[in-house]
Amino acid sequence: MKYWLLKSEPDTFGIDALAASPGRKTHWDGVRNYQARNMMRDEMKRGDLAFFYHSSCAEPAVTGIVTVVREGYPDQSAFDSRSKYFDADSDPAAPRWFMVDVRLVRKFAHPVTLTTLRRHAEGKLKDMWLLRRGNRLSITPVTAAHWKFINSLAGN
């Protein structure tokens, strides 16, 4: 089983929106980056766990945990001309973009802020992908050691 970190902007779709969704599930659609696409299409497996991370907001933080409930399949929003994720170049016969479905496992009582994570950037969280300079990837792998440590920071 692997661990991941998924970024989402709380103004668009935060952890409370996920909690309010039917079955506390959602399609992780709209990813338009090939590296992230490859991870969803090829590597994310049912049962994998991922941190739900709030980005581009007042207090960037890991806010909870989700689990993969459906493995990679074509992202339908790429074919929907009304969607902001529409991609005219994506051929339905050979879909370019993929998504997974995730379900909320737990919302942290105390989010682990980016500031807190950075405090450990040279220690327990050394080489964490999220903390790398200039990192913009919306989906990143998380090591088992980092996973455990961040959970401990959250009081889990």
Shorter beta-carbon distance to DNA: residue 9 or 69: 9
The DSSP code for 94 is B
| Residue type present at position 54 | H
Least distance (Å) between residue 138 CB and DNA? 5
Shorter beta-carbon distance to DNA: residue 46 or 126: 126
Bridge partner list, 67: 49, 103
Contact residues for DNA, defined by CB under 7 A? 7, 9, 32-35, 55-57, 60, 114-115, 118, 132-138
Shorter beta-carbon distance to DNA: residue 82 or 133: 133
Least distance (Å) between residue 107 CB and DNA? 19
Q: Which residues of 1-20 are buried (b: 16+ CB within 10 A; e: fewer)?
A: ebbbbbbbebeebbbeebee
Name the one residue in this structure whose structure tokens are 């990192």: 135
Shorter beta-carbon distance to DNA: residue 69 or 96: 96
Least distance (Å) between residue 9 CB and DNA? 7
Distance (Å, whole) CA 52 – CA 42: 20
Least distance (Å) between residue 47 CB and DNA? 25
